[in-house]
Amino acid sequence: MNKVMTRTAQRRPGTRPPGRRDPRRPGTTPPRTPAPRTPATRTATTAPAPVPADTAPTGRTTLGAPLPPRPTDLFADRLLAVLSGQRPVHWMLRHTAGRAYDELARLAERGPLRARGVRPVVRDIGYYVPRRGAIEAFARIGAGDQLRAMAFRLEQGPDLRWRCTAVELGGPRAPRTDD
């Protein structure tokens, strides 16, 4: 197989690119030292006891595996990444349906959530379930002292994937056009 490199910098044959770490080669990473074991961890590792469901920590199943994130959390982060300029609009193409992609493209070209020096974050998310397979959600977006509101609607398709079908930010609405 012939690989074509598009970079103009020449490297010596048999060397790795800078910054790449290869765990198979000795001496590339510092040796790991195991964490000191206390008597409590020794007994826990030798004789695991089942965790009752009522004492399981929130956000985890009774077996200790983390629960998958809610679709509202995922989409709030995805929409924020696009509207703040961290990701291109086409990144959301397969995650939208209907007019939502057009609305998102129109909003993103204005760059409403771009803040100088401060990266915007999702502060709070709320949602309402009007029917099975549909979620109407809002998110409070904070960037420094600024606080903005974002609303979006998610619908679950026949393939059980969630897709965004509407996006709005605080401010004047765009006129609706008939398709």
Task: Write out the two tokens for 10.
Answer: 């020449």
pLDDT band at 50 (very low <50, low <70, confident <90, very high): very low
Residue 18's pLDDT is 56
Residue 32's pLDDT is 54
Express each pLDDT in 136-151 by its tens digit: 999 999 988 888 899 9
State what percent of residues in the chain have pLDDT above 70.
60
DSSP secondary structure, 105-121, as one string: HHHHHH-TT--SSS--E
Strand partners, 138: 126, 151
Q: How confident is the prediction for the chain on average, in pLDDT? A: 74
Separation CA 107–CA 95 (nearest Å): 16
Decide: residue 51, CB within 10 A, 0-12 exposed, 13-18 middle, 19+ buried. Answer: middle
Instruction: Give kind and range of the element (H or E) at residue 167.
Output: strand 162-169
State what percent of residues in the chain have pLDDT above 90.
39
**CA torsion, points 174, 131, 75, 60, in degrees to nearest 10?**
160
First to last CA, the chain: 50
